[in-house]
Amino acid sequence: MHFQPPAPDGNAYTHLYWLAKDTDENPSGRETTTPRLRSLSDLKAKLKTGMCKPHRMGSAKTDTRYYIYWKDLGPLVNEQGTIAFWSYSNLKFNERRYVTRYRTGTIFSQNGFSPTNANCPICPCTDSALHILSGCQHTKMRNMIIKRHNTASVLIIVQALQKGPCGANQIAYTDVGSADKLSEQGLDLINTANKTLPSWLLPKLTTHALKASSRPDAILFLPSTVCSSRVTTRNPNF
């Protein structure tokens, strides 16, 4: 019996070929019904290339609501925006991990993990990922949630003012913290309504109704010129 010498990389089966079933995709994204066989020259890189496409999901469940929602949402979202948090250097690994767990429905909560008690450990509400993020009614948790929301909103407002494609340059209304705290973060609140909707927005409502109405986080004024997506001195990073 004659054996071929091994290849320089130590692969003793470099002279052999393995057949792998290959399926092409049509323009609609679905696999064709007539698979074909192709040869693999090795069981390393070539095998990995052939196995990755049909088996990259592993044993992950593809019939769950999270998977279906994200798959349907994929063509509609800005891909760079949805994964931008991965490029933020000031985010810790644990923070990225928890964001990913929340988005995939795998974050730990009493509801779904505890066989006997689905309630939040510190408030009487039913526990869930959304409850952890913004629904807990415990006093300290509510204060933390509000502070996080206000901090994020101010960052968005600042970015819209400084780098927005339409060049928003005046804040007409805010509901993301006290006027003193907003001023400390560099926001010019001259002629700006805070926590009470301006009367010109809903002129038919009374002052009491304006205070009790559902309120947006902010109202920004845009310039009277037509909004343009072209790079300008106001939006060099668009």
Could you give the CA distance from residue 145 to residue 151 in angstroms, rounded to a whole number? 10
pLDDT tens for residues 109-133? 887 777 778 889 898 899 988 888 8
pLDDT of 233 > 60? The answer is: no
Dump the DSSP string for 156-174.
HHHHHHHH-TT---EEEEE
Q: Which domain holds residue 19?
A: 1-24+35-53
Q: Is residue 80 part of a domain?
A: no
User: Is 168 exposed, middle or buried, given 0-12, 13-18 or 19+ CB atoms closer than 10 A?
Assistant: buried
Q: Is residue 160 part of a domain?
A: no
pLDDT of 97 > 50? The answer is: yes
Tokens of 135: 């629904």
Q: Is residue 43 part of a domain?
A: yes
Long-range contacts for 95-103 (Cβ within 8 Å, ≥24 apart)? 101/129, 102/129, 102/133, 103/66, 103/70
Q: Is residue 209 part of a domain?
A: yes
Q: Is residue 154 part of a domain?
A: no
Q: Is residue 113 part of a domain?
A: no
pLDDT tens for residues 173-191? 888 888 788 877 777 777 7
pLDDT tens for residues 8-24? 777 666 666 666 666 55
Strand, coil or helix: what is 39? strand
pLDDT tens for residues 24-74? 555 554 555 566 776 777 677 777 777 777 777 777 778 888 888 888 888
Per the structure, the count of domains in the chain is 2
Q: Is residue 126 part of a domain?
A: no
The label of the residue with tokens 């469940």 reads 61
Q: Is residue 2 part of a domain?
A: yes
Residue 236: pLDDT band with limits 50, 70, 90: very low
Residues 23 and 32: beta-carbon distance below 8 Å: yes
